[in-house]
Amino acid sequence: MAVMVKTKKEFVGVVKSDKMDKTIVVAVETTTLHPLYKKYVRRIKKLKAHDQTNDAKIGDRVRVVECRPISKEKCWKLAEIIERAK
């Protein structure tokens, strides 16, 4: 009997807000091909992520990982800060 292992989703994005306590808002940008016009369209999704140490600041490039629901809108957590804002 084979066991299926689910991998958690990961996204890389830019921190847009760090005003909440232990929470950051991360903007994740993806490009998708429009089915009719065959043009690449830019989509931006904002995710609320848990930042336990309040370490990430606005403009930082971060990696977020899916986790259990922490609150109504927060089901992501900060995995690492890839690049600091200049």
In SS3 terms, the chain reads as CCCCCCCCCEEEEEEEECCCCCEEEEEEEEEEECCCCCCEEEEEEEEEEECCCCCCCCCCEEEEEECCCCCCCEEEEEEEEEECCC
Q: What does the block give as tokens for 16?
A: 């847009």
pLDDT digits (tens, 9 = 90+) for 20-77: 999 999 999 999 999 999 999 999 999 999 999 999 999 999 999 999 999 999 999 9
The model's pTM is 0.87
In a domain? residue 37: yes
Structural domain of 30: 10-83
At residue 82, the pLDDT reads 98
**Count of domains forming the chain:** 1
Do residues 61 and 82 make contact, with C-beta atoms less than 8 angstroms apart? Answer: yes
CATH code of the domain containing 76: 2.40.50.140
Is residue 19 predicted with pLDDT exceeding 80?
A: yes
Query: Can you give the pLDDT at residue 1?
Result: 73
Binning pLDDT at 50, 70 and 90, where does residue 6 land?
A: confident
